[in-house]
Amino acid sequence: MIQIKENISLKPFNSFGIDVLAKQFCTVRSFNEVQALLEWNKTKNSPLLILGGGSNLLFTKDYNGLVLQNALKGIELVKEDNEYYFVKAMAGENWHQFVSYCVQMQYQGIENMSLIPGNIGASPMQNIGAYGVEVKDVIESVEAIQISDGAIVSFDNKACEFGYRESIFKHQMRNQFIIVSVLFKLRKTPVYNTSYGNIEQELMNMKAAPSIKAISDAVIRIRQRKLPDPTKIGNAGSFFKNPIIPTVLYNELKKAHASIPGFAVQNGLHTKVPAAWLIEQSGWKGFRAGDAGCYPLQPLVLVNYGHATGVEIFNLSTQIIEKVKVEFGIELEREVNIY
């Protein structure tokens, strides 16, 4: 039975630790509860916000509507063949705990994405990724409930229309579906990816040969050195996407900025430029105004040192975007959702 609470502080439910109120708040733990809540909200016609781990959003004001906290739990090996395990995880499961489970079970494919904050439900929406791997590479299908009528709909990988930190759920189908589970296709025979982000060097430091567990441990060590723990310093991980620009433009920039890093994508026609480098070169690394700041060890991460408001953090992000645009002619895009 659904229980709807009123005027609830969202501070415990967002990793930035922003203290705003939700007009209504309800935690759902089953398909039936999701459908019942959607029916209830039809009569109210309130704005609806689907909340998972709260690690990819920034509240700039109170939410004048219904916040649905997705707490559907469960992990199940649905089937397997000679090459793959097909593992279904419910949307309310914690992402890193799921990765740790798969590492323990020797299901290979997501160990490079260890320690990414958030829940399973956000993984296909954002097409999360790290250290050379994206979740689209291992998703078989996504199960979702349609908000308009409560129908359960399945999307195969192609139907999700994945792109860099993008999916159909973020754009064309935004606010039309509630993701309830994801089916992952994970390898039995490992194919390791150690070429990105100093993983090979970390494995050498650990004196460890590549394995599912060793790569996961290496990624955790790297991330813990570079990124603030959201339980200690409010943050949402990477605040900006790494921009992808035409290679012609990149080559022009390289004439003026010889050290600008870039990674060829899309058959070399475009180049991905690290946003962190652009932000640091623009003078923002370690910047702090009041309790809003740019993390000293990773300028891609904006932080709340205690009592910053969402508006203060948003305004800082706007200043960074404007300065990078002036310096390099590249417009950064926020990865975090703003409310």
Strand 129-130 to strand 84-90: parallel, antiparallel, or no bridges (unpaired)? unpaired
Is 187 marked active-site?
A: no
Active-site residue, from 33, 114, 165, 216: 165
- Taking alpha carbons only, the member of 129, 127, 119, 7 closest to residue 74 is 119
Quick one: tokens of 27?
A: 């935690």
Quick one: tokens of 185?
A: 């296709």
CA distances from 145 to 53, 171, 333 (A): 19, 17, 29
Is 334 marked active-site?
A: no
CA distances from 19 to 10, 47, 117, 168 (A): 6, 19, 20, 30
- Contact assessment for residue 338 and residue 321, using Cβ atoms and an 8 Å cutoff: no
Active-site residue, from 55, 238, 282, 317: 238
- Phi/psi at 263 (nearest 5 deg)? -130, 120
Say which amino acid occupies 16: F
Is 165 marked active-site?
A: yes
Angle at 30 between CA 171 and CA 128, to 5 degrees: 35
Residue 57, strand partner residues? 337
Question: Which residues carry out catalysis?
Answer: 165, 238, 335
